[in-house]
């Protein structure tokens, strides 16, 4: 099965017009470490929903690409939170199989 990262090589995430949501197609699917993630991107605003393991609380990262600001659970974050966000997104892209995902794109104008 192909990893998501293979499909994203040609996507320019700096393009603020890119809009979409990537999530697991089933509640039973997890990443190799047992975590779950969903990622939404809308005009330079990224939202990562992370759950370490089943039953654990969700953690919500919001990254503003314009202002290079990160919020974690609605609280302002700094460089460490930004690094954690990037590590998690990178892990998601490199570990998840495309067949395990649902991609939601907005309707074309």
Q: What is the pLDDT along the chain (109 residues), one digit of tens a residue?
A: 566 556 555 555 555 666 788 899 999 999 999 999 999 988 788 999 999 999 999 999 999 988 889 999 999 999 999 999 999 999 998 898 889 999 877 766 6
pTM: 0.83
- Listed in order, strand segments (DSSP E) in 1-109 are 19-24, 36-42, 45-51, 58-64, 69-72, 75-76, 101-104
């Amino acid at each position: 099965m192909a990893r998501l990262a293979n499909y994203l090589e040609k996507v320019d995430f700096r393009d603020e017009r890119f809009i979409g949501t990537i999530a697991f197609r089933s509640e039973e699917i997890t990443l190799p470490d047992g975590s779950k993630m969903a990622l939404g991107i809308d005009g330079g605003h990224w939202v990562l929903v992370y759950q370490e393991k089943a039953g654990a609380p969700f953690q919500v990262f919001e990254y503003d690409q314009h202002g290079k600001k990160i919020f974690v659970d609605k609280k302002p974050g700094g460089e460490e939170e930004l690094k954690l966000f990037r590590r998690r997104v990178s892990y998601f892209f490199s570990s998840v199989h495309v067949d395990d995902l649902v991609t939601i794109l907005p309707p074309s104008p």
